[in-house]
Amino acid sequence: MILIHCPYCDEKRPEIEFSYGGEAHIARPPDPSAQSDNEWESYLFIRANPRGRHNERWRHIHGCGRFFNAVRDTVSDKFETTYKAGEPRQ
Amino acid sequence: MSGYRLATGGRVDRTAPAQFSFDGQSYEGLAGDTLASALIANGVAVFGRSFKYHRPRGVLGSGSEEPNALVSVDRGPGRFTPNLRATNVEVHDRLTAVSQNRWPSLKTDFGAINDRLGMFLPAGFYNKTFMWPRSFWDKLYEPAIRRMAGLGEAPTEIDPDIYAATYAHCDLLIIGAGPAGIDAALEAAGTNKRIVLIDDQNELGGGALADPSLFEWLERSVKALVDAPNLTILTRTTAFGYYHDNFIGAVQRLTDHLPDGGNAAREKLWRIRAGEVILAQGAIERPLVFEGNDTPGVMLASAARVFANRYGVAVGRSVALMASHDSGWHDVFALAKAGEGITAILDIREAVDDVLLKQAADIGVAVKLGHSVIGVSGRHGVKAIEIARNDGTGKMLVSCDALLMAGGWTPSVHLWSQSKGSLRWRDDLGAYVPDKPNEKVRCVGACAGTWNFGSGLVIDELPTPKDQARIKAFVDFQNDVTAKDIRLAVREGFRSIEHIKRYTTNGMATDQGKTSNLNGLQIASQAMARPVTDIGLTTFRPPYTPQTFGALAGHAKDALFQPTRKTNIDGWAEENGAVFELVAQWRRARYFPKAGEDMHAAVNRECLAVRERLGIFDASTLGKIEVVGPDAAEFLNRMYTNPWKALEPGRCRYGLLLKEDGFITDDGVSARLAPDRFHLTTTTGGAARVLNMMEDYLQTEWPDLNVWLTSTTEQYAVIALQGPNARKLLQPLVQGIDLSAEAFPHMAIREGTICGIPTRLFRVSFTGELGFEINVPTAHGRALWERIMAEGAQFGITPYGTEAMHVLRAEKGYIIVGQDTDGTVTPYDAGLDWAVGKKKPDFVGRRSLARPDIVASGRKQLVGLLTDDPNVVLEEGAQIVADPNQPIPMKMIGHVTSSYWSATLGRSIALAFVAGGQGRMGETLHIPMPGKTHTAKVGGMVFYDPEGTRLNV
């Protein structure tokens, strides 16, 4: 079971306290109605799904409840870092 | 093989005999024996039949690597454990063990015909033979194969044992308590680290238990470890899996070794998080591959030494050795010292160290270098071996009753590999050894490839003058895979060991190839004329040895399998005969049958009571979220499809929640209590999901909004009062709220007290009748319920359950998200256009409602269905077709989502999804069901009181 560092609690906790939230840094367009069908499709469905380094969202759902971002290697399943929501991509 | 108990030696307690039985026959063993050592001491050679060919099999090893001697232990009803290694089963009084995979008996087994037919059962036989005709598979092939193949039988009764589980944290975890593990523990014991030392045997020592010269050191060391305050020792404990971040799963066997375990837990699951791990799992000796190497009495040389020095058991009276490695020589020297008769030493090597030759000469044993065993005679035990020079000349027979194999050593890198540590091939060892770690872990001792067993020659199969395509030289004993099977797989084009493994099943048995993987690799490598490292290595996966489901499940069974959520009113429902159903882990009253009533009769009665008089319903399970803050209305306006900003305090609104893809995910009626405070309700099953979704948007998309979300589902008990008499009943009980229709209209909320209890009183209805939902602090739920029941007697108040609630809402065409929607349904599909704020510039999912596929015609739409025969209740999930006479497969244009008998209407009703449904009003559609195809007319979704006159009174 992976240990995940919650950047808000500043503590490593077992992964069962967390829930996964998909790829990070996909901001909801400020004016969705201005989006073309293709742009909206990209926002809704198109994800990078990389082999290796992946910026992704997690929520400390059974802890502080905060959403945060992480960099995880999808091959080794190791977390490189975690950082607070709103902070720049790492 | 004619084993016997040596007069002296071993670590068994010769003053403590234990009576046990094997296949119904009684035997005597000693405390400290395993089932294997005790049976060998009693002269037993055959322990079971092999998986495929049903060949008699004896003991190959002495521990968890044992592939052959699998037995079932019967500890009484429900306590039958198959596939245990006899080398791991501790003997105790009344132990009852039976052999496996034989019929009618171990001695005479009809399945052994497979052995004669072996040439017709090559690798991939099942894949090739039973492919056709397809129809034969279910009735003929599979049942026959299942009868013939397989290991022990699974028990059929429920396991009555209890299993414990615990978490542990330590600075250092040492797995394996052989000399290397003990040294590591002694060294660390002097520090202030918290240490856990695990070993799968009943006593610490590992290989030292088979070396009397180390017994004194062992005793001293174990005492030091036991005395160390910072060290926890877990014996009879198998570390079966290595998971991320030094998280190790281990199972401790607590009572199986006792004649009577009493009420104690049988096993305990340890989940250990370690700062650092030291693996000291040792190495496993490799068998040699030659014809007859599976005959009972042919075993690993190291195992014979364990039997002699640890258990005081001789494996034979005249023992021969076939070696390719020095370690076997040392083993037979130890046997000779213990008093066993050694007949011959054969070594494939043309030359060995002079020291070995001298020692052999000292004990007067004939040595034949450059020789190999080419056959074994004796079916139920070794009688003689056929040997020849490596060039095939000089064939001769040597009488013996046991043959030891010393084929070199394979480091146990299982846990290391599970931790994703890399491996390095060592030609000199013919084995992979740990290379770079992926966790904070290191290997010590034999599992790191460092040992003092001497050296050896790495070979794939012993040379033989016989036709290698006609002999059975076993590689995987448990799955009956022979060298020629692997060569056949290579000839048929398999190149990766992962494919060869699956085609031949080499290494796929319960022992996971502990003794077979490396030999299989060598044979494939030779057959392909490519280096071993080109062929790959199969993956090591947990568990290291098979573990019981009981240990893994622990307490999570029966009532503790998952939590049962109960409302404050649940006890009343139970006392009043409710039949329950589980909804999102909530136990909900489904209906309240009176004497002699079935569900149908009870639901009809409950429905009519609501329509005609008064019904009472426990709605406490509804999800509830308190939304507070200056931006609360703005937030809800962005989340829900309909407008919220203009909702006045004191009023309620039906909220429809989409996901960003435009599909309905939840709904519920919510109330505005104050400009900055809302009381949301969600579906029972959707509460956690909706809160998570709202938190997501609030935290990550709109952090500028000042809003706080709090789950209040379990803070309120909710009593729904529904029916024409609802107001009359409430009037005298409520204080501070004007209940009149003018002051308190439908879809409004008022705060006050009821029977002195503070309440949020909703005037809402999921039945179509005049209705109220009384929210009170949870602890008051049952008391209030009972008070209302007492007051309601004059109105014939009737408790109703979820089933009647479903019928009543369907009569009104109210959908249930998750039943009438399936994650691909838009508000338009569900006929909820009215709930979409057309003027709102944005809400979650709005943009998706304009996507081409969503606005396309012909989408499935929710409609009402009335069967032409009013007595037919359609099956929920039944498919709908337009033309019943079309050829099969018919074009299905929709399905029934909700279907009930309506006592109010005296006929059946149904909701259904139908392609272009809203344009099919009045059309007759066809619903094929078992036995008959029914007809029904498409209509609106509201079957009862479409004007809503009963609501607004």
pLDDT tens digit sequence for B169-206: 999 999 999 999 999 999 999 999 999 999 999 999 99
Cβ neighbors of B236 (< 8 A, separation 6 or more) are: B200, B201, B202, B252, B253, B254, B257
Q: Give the model's confidence band at B113: pLDDT under 50 very low, under 70 low, under 90 confident, else very high.
A: low
Nearest to A67 among B245, B438, B699 (CB): B699
Q: In angstroms, what separates the C-alpha of B190 from chain A's closest C-alpha?
A: 29
Is the CB of A66 less than 8 angstroms away from the CB of B247?
no
**Cα–Cα nearest to B50, from B296, B250, B219:** B296
Using CA atoms, how far apart are residues B196 and B175, in angstroms rounded to an integer?
8
Using CA atoms, how far apart are residues B238 and B252, in angstroms rounded to an integer?
6
Q: In angstroms, what separates the C-alpha of B511 from chain A's closest C-alpha?
A: 25
Q: In angstroms, what separates the C-alpha of B651 from chain A's closest C-alpha?
A: 30
Q: Starting at the edge strand that comes first in sequence, how are the strands of the sheet with B25-31 ordered?
A: B25-31, B13-22, B95-99, B70-74, B80-85
Half-sphere exposure of B114 (CA within 13 A, CB side): 23
| B contacts of A65 (beta carbons < 8 Å) | 695
- Distance, C-alpha B755 to centroid of its chain: 51
Cβ atoms B102, B111 nearer than 8 A: yes
What local confidence, expressed as pLDDT, does residue B53 receive?
Answer: 86
Using CA atoms, how far apart are residues B245 and B248, in angstroms rounded to an integer?
9
What pLDDT digit, counting tens, does each position of B786-807 carry?
A: 999 999 999 999 999 999 999 9
What pLDDT digit, counting tens, does each position of B19-47 carry?
A: 999 999 999 999 999 999 999 999 999 99
Using CA atoms, how far apart are residues B617 and B603, in angstroms rounded to an integer?
13
Is the CB of A33 less than 8 angstroms away from the CB of B846?
yes
* Helix or strand (DSSP H, E) at B784: helix B781-792
Cβ atoms B274, B196 nearer than 8 A: yes
User: Which amino acid, one-letter code, is at B32?
Assistant: G
Residue B683, classed as helix, strand or coil, is: coil
User: Which amino acid, one-letter code, is at B616?
Assistant: I
The dihedral built from the CA positions of residue B27, B30, B32 and B33, taken in this order, carries a sign that is negative
Q: What is the mean pLDDT of residues B889-902?
A: 97
* Helix or strand (DSSP H, E) at B897: strand B892-902
Residues 665-724 of B with CB under 8 A from A: 692, 695-696, 699-701, 703
Structure tokens belonging to residue B361: 């000469």
End-to-end CA distance of chain A, in Å?
Answer: 24
Q: Is the pLDDT of residue B137 over 70?
A: no
Give the Cβ contact number of residue B818 at 10 Å.
16
The complex scores an ipTM of 0.97
What pLDDT digit, counting tens, does each position of B319-341 carry?
A: 999 999 999 999 999 999 999 99
Nearest to A2 among B245, B271, B703 (CB): B245
Cβ neighbors of B917 (< 8 A, separation 6 or more) are: B860, B861, B862, B863, B894, B938
Q: Give the model's confidence band at B151: pLDDT under 50 very low, under 70 low, under 90 confident, else very high.
A: confident
Q: In angstroms, what separates the C-alpha of A27 from chain B's closest C-alpha?
A: 7
| B contacts of A27 (beta carbons < 8 Å) | 701
User: Which amino acid, one-letter code, is at B27?
Assistant: Y
Residue B517, classed as helix, strand or coil, is: helix
* Helix or strand (DSSP H, E) at B331: helix B326-338
What local confidence, expressed as pLDDT, does residue B378 receive?
Answer: 93
Q: Which residue has the tokens 């992946």?
A: A54
Using CA atoms, how far apart are residues B573 and B617, in angstroms rounded to an integer?
10
Answer whether A77 touches B (CB < 8 Å): yes
Using CA atoms, how far apart are residues B549 and B156, in angstroms rounded to an integer?
14
Cross-strand partners of B861: B914
Inter-axis angle of helices B179-189 and B215-227, nearest 10: 40
**Cα–Cα nearest to B760, from B824, B822, B672:** B672
Using CA atoms, how far apart are residues B625 and B445, in angstroms rounded to an integer?
59
The dihedral built from the CA positions of residue B519, B521, B524 and B525, taken in this order, carries a sign that is negative
Answer whether A22 touches B (CB < 8 Å): no
Q: Outline where DSSP puts E strands in B36-137.
A: 48-49, 56-57, 70-74, 80-85, 95-99
Give the strand pairing for B423-426 and B56-57. unpaired
Q: Is the pLDDT of residue B257 over 60?
A: yes
Cross-strand partners of A60: none
Cβ atoms B339, B366 nearer than 8 A: no
Q: In angstroms, what separates the C-alpha of B241 from chain A's closest C-alpha?
A: 11
Chains A, B: CB contacts under 8 A, how many? 54
Nearest to B700 among A41, A65, A85 (CB): A85
Using CA atoms, how far apart are residues B836 and B644, in angstroms rounded to an integer?
11
Q: Give the model's confidence band at B451: pLDDT under 50 very low, under 70 low, under 90 confident, else very high.
A: confident
Is the backbone of residue B286 left (phi > 0), alpha (psi -120 to 50) or beta?
Answer: beta
Q: Is the pLDDT of residue B103 over 80?
A: no
Nearest to B661 among A28, A33, A44 (CB): A44
Is the CB of A2 less than 8 angstroms away from the CB of B244?
yes
Q: Give the model's confidence band at B116: pLDDT under 50 very low, under 70 low, under 90 confident, else very high.
A: low
Q: Give the model's confidence band at B112: pLDDT under 50 very low, under 70 low, under 90 confident, else very high.
A: low
What pLDDT digit, counting tens, does each position of B611-635 carry?
A: 999 999 999 999 999 999 999 999 9
Q: Outline where DSSP puts E strands in B229-292.
A: 231-234, 237-243, 247-253, 267-279, 283-285
Q: Is the pLDDT of residue B450 over 60?
A: yes
Determine the length of chain B.
953
- Distance, C-alpha B624 to centroid of its chain: 34
Q: What is the mean pLDDT of residues B669-675?
A: 97
What string of DSSP letters covers B873-889? -PPTT-EEES-TTSPSS
What local confidence, expressed as pLDDT, does residue B100 receive?
Answer: 86
Please state, rounded to an integer, the average pLDDT across all residues of chain B.
94
Q: What is the mean pLDDT of residues B607-611?
A: 98
Answer whether B847 touches A (CB < 8 Å): yes
B613 burial class (0-12, 13-18, 19+ CB within 10 angstroms)? Answer: middle
Of all residues in chain A, the one with the smallest CA distance to B659 is A44
In angstroms, the Cα distances linking B84 to B257, B289, B310, B663 are 13, 25, 20, 53
Give the strand pairing for B907-915 and B892-902. antiparallel
Answer whether A42 touches B (CB < 8 Å): no
Tens digit of pLDDT per residue, chain A (90 long)? 899 999 999 999 999 999 999 999 999 999 999 999 999 999 999 999 999 999 999 999 999 999 999 999 999 899 999 999 989 999
Q: What is the mean pLDDT of residues B330-353?
A: 97
Nearest to B699 among A44, A66, A76 (CB): A66
Cβ neighbors of B451 (< 8 A, separation 6 or more) are: B283, B409, B445
Answer whether A32 touches B (CB < 8 Å): yes
Using CA atoms, how far apart are residues B845 and B515, in angstroms rounded to an integer?
59
What local confidence, expressed as pLDDT, does residue B118 receive?
Answer: 60
Substitution target from A1, A8, A60, A69 for chain B, most B beta carbons within 10 A: A1
Q: Is the pLDDT of residue B149 over 70?
A: no
Structure tokens belonging to residue B193: 């680290």
Nearest to B847 among A2, A35, A57 (CB): A35
The angle formed by the CA atoms of residues B167, B171 and B177, to the nearest 5 degrees, is 85
Q: Which residue has the tokens 């999102």?
A: B584
What local confidence, expressed as pLDDT, does residue B122 receive?
Answer: 66
**Cα–Cα nearest to B869, from B936, B933, B941:** B936
Q: Which residue has the tokens 């109605």?
A: A33
Cβ atoms B821, B861 nearer than 8 A: no
Q: Give the model's confidence band at B139: pLDDT under 50 very low, under 70 low, under 90 confident, else very high.
A: low
